Amino acid sequence: MKPVLEVLDLVKQYPGVRAVDGVSFEIAAGSCFGLLGPNGAGKTTTVEIMEGVTEPTAGRVLYHGEPLGKRFRDEAGIQFQKTALQEFLTVRETLQMFRRLYPRGRDVDELIVLCALEQVVDRDNRKLSGGQLQRLLLAIALVNDPQVLFLDEPTTGLDPQARHNFWDLIRAIKAEQRTVLLTTHYMEEAYFLCDVVAIMDHGRIIAEGPPSRLLKEHFDDVVLELPRDEFRVDPAKFPLPVLTAADRVEILTADVEQALRALLDHGVPLRHLRIRPRNLEDLFLELTGRELRT
Amino acid sequence: MNPRRLFAVWHARNLEFLRDRSTLVFNFVLPLALVVAFAVIFGGQPRNLMDIGVITAPGATLDAGLHPFLGTRYVDFHRVEAADLDAAIRAVERHQSALLLDLRGAPGYWVNADSPNGYLAEKLLLASARDAVRQPVSGAAVGYVDWLLPGILGMNMMFSCLFGVGYVVVRYRKSGFLRRLSATPVTALEFGAAQILSRLALTVSVTTLVYAVLALLVPFRNDGSVFLLFATAVLGAICMISLGFMVAARFSSEELANGFINLVSWPMMLLSGVWFSLESAPPWLRMAAETLPLTQMLQAARAIMLDGAGILDVLPRLATLLAMTAVFLGIAAAGFRWRAA
């Protein structure tokens, strides 16, 4: 199937920093594509070039095989990472204003129900909670009934309930065969929503594919988790690599039986042992490193 | 230009302004309070100091040596250049000047017999210059409030136009709202037109309302057409809003925009004749003042209200306002930016 969006050799050079350094990928119709990466990896710049609000230094973005133009503007829905809205306007008035900017789109009342805004429809924008504001921004992104939806870190700062509520909304939109591009810091979110993810670092894509395939390609081991106070062994003397966290230790192994034998040999109680497969967060940290980004 | 999109942005901006009560009240109350205060202070009573204009031969000093009358105490004598004779005679007609004395040859003078100060000044003059040639003029008095009212309304319009568009557009840009709009089909032209039309409607409505309330509270003079005055206000407002839009075309710092708006508003407040007439100012200063939109609007408004000027009389000033508008909008369009630097 022909891709909805094609990103070809994208480069964005700012004075002293190459924010995007030769990025290429495609997004298939009806799929959810996740762009992951640490702070400063170049995700937002890449997305903004794809949205047509930032000019690339080099490279192209094609929508249905054509450069971004009127069709793209009419058919794209965008939720920026940070968007201030007009003051003194209610939720309904804000939606009505954005709705009038498009020739076609969804009914405002329908959007209010879809994004669960019924309770706050007459409330001033400035008096919305974080979750309510994110749902309003999503509703604004949906006013033109978009074929392709850009969501840049839509759940950052939300509490778990609000985040899960937001995921349900995105899944409902995906069920309507819309194409979604999502950037996020939450690996669980990407795993839950995305058909394909691309991990970016230092302006480049360092891994791309369906999450389950990426995990299979990069990991053949599992993680054995034990409470730290029950693992009374010097990690240097243990035959397998041991990762020490605040309250637990993690042992990485492809041979569970051997690991269990080693634990029993060292007299480690197995009462609270947990075995889990490697997840997207492990992959993310493995590929991008554990040092803090600013 | 899509009217539906223009309406959407225009309507949203109107709601934002109308619900921002503090700003709305300030826009309405400030000019009202200023004019009423001046009416109380200056209204009705003639000023104590008598003002007399004097035309002399070049180089002569205004003292009793030139003519004994110039030694009269409690009278403010000021020099009038020959080139400004018409304006000085008009001041006598309007009772703003008690008398105009010509000492270039045999003494002559212009006086308005209906002016109390003119009557007194003439008596004083004839005591020392019995043979001075009298040239009577006529005209109703123009009180300070009559003269000041267009200035205060114009100044309020100026602040409303400059800050109401300039500051708001910069705030939209800084907050990222403009960037959000840039991702919709709305064009810069539609956005700009919506801002200008919104502010125009609000400024002209507020000014009209203040004008109407003042007409009830403080009787003032308007010898000209109310419609022509309204058209002048509309053109002046469009011009000053365009100036505000030009200043706001690129900046994303409210402080910087504030500084630049002050940079254009203060010269207008001082030089455009809001508080005092520039008729006796040096020619270069008057030339500089002519480049300011508020000067053009106020001169036209005062000509209409105080002299009963018609459309042909004020046409050059209205055309100047239109030309300035085109220049400001052209620069704004060339430099407009959706997002913060």
Which chain B residues touch A83 with a CB distance below 8 Å?
Answer: 176-177, 179-180
Q: Which fold has domain B50-137?
A: D-Maltodextrin-Binding Protein; domain 2 (3.40.190)
Chain A contact present for B266, CB below 8 A: no
Q: Do A88 and B15 touch (CB under 8 A)?
A: yes
pLDDT in tens, B254-311: 888 888 888 888 888 888 888 777 766 677 888 888 999 999 999 999 999 888 888 8
Which residue ranges in chain A fall short of pLDDT 70? 1, 290-294
Q: Residue range B89-110: average pLDDT?
A: 87
Among B10, B15, B254, the residue to mutate for chain A (most A Cβ within 10 A): B15
Residue type, B201: A
- Classify strands A32-36 and A196-201 as parallel, antiparallel or unpaired: parallel
Q: Do A80 and B177 touch (CB under 8 A)?
A: no
User: What residue ranges of chain B are covered by domains with CATH 3.40.190?
Assistant: 50-137
Which chain A residues touch B175 with a CB distance below 8 Å?
Answer: 84
Among B7, B184, B189, B339, the residue to mutate for chain A (most A Cβ within 10 A): B184
- Report the percent of chain B where pLDDT is more than 70: 92
Which chain B residues touch A79 with a CB distance below 8 Å?
Answer: none
Which chain A residues touch B19 with a CB distance below 8 Å?
Answer: 88
**Rounded distance between C-alpha atoms, residue B232 and residue B207, angstroms:** 12
Is B311 within 8 Å of B227 (Cβ atoms)? no
Which chain A residues touch B4 with a CB distance below 8 Å?
Answer: 100
Q: Residue range B107-117: average pLDDT?
A: 86
Which chain B residues touch A86 with a CB distance below 8 Å?
Answer: 12-13, 16, 172, 177
User: What residue ranges of chain A are covered by domains with CATH 3.40.50.300?
Assistant: 5-216
Neighbours of B267 (CB within 10 A): 16
What is the least distance, in Å, from the CA of B186 to any CA of chain A? 6
Which chain B residues touch A84 with a CB distance below 8 Å?
Answer: 175-177
Considering chain B, what is the average pLDDT of its residues? 85
Question: Residue A207: helix, strand or coil by DSSP?
Answer: strand
Chain A contact present for B15, CB below 8 A: yes
Beta-carbon contacts of residue B67 (< 8 Å; ≥ 6 apart)? B101, B103, B107, B128, B129
Query: Does B46 score more than 60 pLDDT?
Result: no
User: What residue ranges of chain A are covered by domains with CATH 3.30.70?
Assistant: 220-277
Instruction: Tell which residue, A237, A221, A234, A222, has the closest CA to residue A274.
Output: A222
Identity of the residue in B9, B176, B185 whose CB atom sits nearest the CB atom of A82:
B176
Q: Do A88 and B176 touch (CB under 8 A)?
A: no
Nearest CA in chain A to B186: A101
What is the least distance, in Å, from the CA of B190 to any CA of chain A? 10
pLDDT band, residue B38 (cuts 50/70/90): low
Instruction: Tell which residue, A141, A199, A198, has the closest CA to residue A173.
Output: A141
**Rounded distance between C-alpha atoms, residue B320 and residue B236, angstroms:** 10
Counting Cα atoms < 13 Å in the Cβ hemisphere of B295 gives: 21
Identity of the residue in A80, A97, A103 whose CB atom sits nearest the CB atom of B12:
A97
Question: Residue A214: helix, strand or coil by DSSP?
Answer: helix
Q: Do B185 and A53 touch (CB under 8 A)?
A: no
- Note the pLDDT of residue B42: 58
Q: Do A87 and B20 touch (CB under 8 A)?
A: yes
Structure tokens at B154: 């114009």
pLDDT in tens, B161-181: 998 888 889 989 888 889 888
Q: Which fold has domain A5-216?
A: Rossmann fold (3.40.50)
Instruction: Kindly list the residues of chain A whose beta carbon comes within 8 Å of any beta carbon in chain B.
Output: 51-53, 70, 73-74, 76, 78, 80, 82-89, 93-94, 96-103, 140
Chain A contact present for B187, CB below 8 A: no
Is A32 within 8 Å of A182 (Cβ atoms)? yes
What is the least distance, in Å, from the CA of B163 to any CA of chain A? 17
- Note the pLDDT of residue B335: 87
Q: Do A100 and B4 touch (CB under 8 A)?
A: yes
Q: What is the CATH number of domain A220-277?
A: 3.30.70
> Is the reported ipTM for this assembly greater than 0.90?
no
Q: What pTM does this model have? A: 0.71
Question: Residue B239: helix, strand or coil by DSSP?
Answer: helix
Q: Residue range B220-224: average pLDDT?
A: 81
Q: Do A83 and B19 touch (CB under 8 A)?
A: no
Q: Residue range B21-41: average pLDDT?
A: 69
- Judged on CB neighbours under 10 Å (0-12, 13-18, 19+), B44 is exposed
Query: Does B31 score more than 90 pLDDT?
Result: no
Beta-carbon contacts of residue A236 (< 8 Å; ≥ 6 apart)? none
- A:B CB pairs within 8 Å: 69
Instruction: Tell which residue, A177, A209, A218, A280, has the closest CA to residue A33.
Output: A209
Considering chain A, what is the average pLDDT of its residues? 88
